Amino acid sequence: DEQERWSAVDDYISGLLVGPDPALDSALEANARAGLPAIDVSPAQGKLLHLLARAIGARSILEIGTLGGYSTIWLAGALPAEGRLVTLERSPVHAKVARENIDRAGLGEFVEVREGPALESLPQLSGPFDFVFVDADKPSNPEYFQWALRLSRPGSVIVVDNVIRGGRVLESDSDDAAVQGTRRFTEMLATEPRVSATEIQTVGSKGHDGFALAVVLDG
Ligand code: SAM
């Protein structure tokens, strides 16, 4: 079926262009052992985040939604020696697994995993962050986007994951809070004069979904 084909193509892409990586592979294994849900970004998406951060020369990265740190490891791997990454995670179990995975990847000195609800941690952070990746509870995406803007500078890049939701983003009368949060976020993106943005829908091992990409504008 379609999903099998999308997954097979993702395997083909990662086989050629991503390849095995001991730190990333063992992070996924540790997540599974600890019973974490397999809702990390795919290998190809992880590498896309890494390449975007590298392309803009990001030195400071903010991530909202750590899980086991799979995307964190991809992003932190793009940092220069003096770089830093702060990642926010509500679940103490996820945060613990993530810290272990990040340490095993040799990235512990660059990364701070902050435990607690993101909306409580965000007011304590000082920016600007060059790159922000939003991937936590989707109903809060409008608030996370406002915080991402507040903690960025002109030229910063903001990526928000899971904005298509199998096409359910079209359902204006949906009673799914994730769909409604995503719709409110996308409307905000459309009217926010401080960014230029687009969304790209994707298919792959994680189904039909997509991400938003915004660049913070000058002045
Ligand atoms: N970015 C991760 C990756 O690709 O490897 C996946 C993150 S997963 C989709 C979402 C994470 O956000 C979960 O670990 C969940 O516990 C966390 N989360 C949910 N609500 C949160 C909140 N209010 N504050 C902080 N983290 C939250």
CATH number at residue 87: 3.40.50.150
Cβ(62) – ligand 1 distance below 6 Å: no
Count of domains for the chain: 1
What is the predicted pLDDT for the residue at 19?
Answer: 87
Judge whether residue 133 has pLDDT over 90: yes
Strands of 207-216's sheet in order across:
111-115, 84-89, 60-64, 131-134, 157-161, 207-216, 195-204
For residue 124, give its domain range.
Answer: 2-216
Contact partners, residue 77, CB within 8 Å, separation at least 6: 50, 105, 107
Q: Using the 8-state DSSP alphabet, how is residue 17 labeled?
A: I
> 219 pLDDT exceeds 90?
no
Beta carbon of 89 within 6 Å of any ligand 1 atom = yes
Mutate to test the pocket of ligand 1, among 70, 89, 143 (most ligand atoms within 8 A of CB): 89
Q: Is the CB of 37 under 6 A from ligand 1?
A: no
pLDDT number for residue 118: 98
Cβ of 135 closer than 6 Å to ligand 1, yes or no, is yes
Find out whether 79 and 58 touch, Cβ atoms under 8 Å: yes
At 140, is the pLDDT very low, low, confident or very high (cuts 50, 70, 90)? very high
Q: What is the pLDDT of residues 73-120, one digit of tens each?
A: 999 999 999 999 999 999 999 999 999 999 999 999 999 999 999 999
Q: For ligand 1, is residue 161 a contact (CB within 6 Å)?
A: no
CA 68 to ligand 1: nearest atom: 5
- What is the CA(137)–ligand 1 centre distance, in A? 6
ipTM: 0.99
Q: Which atom of ligand 1 is nearest to the CA of 118?
A: 24
Distance CA 214, CA 47 (A): 18
Residue bearing the CA closest to ligand 1, atom 14 = 67
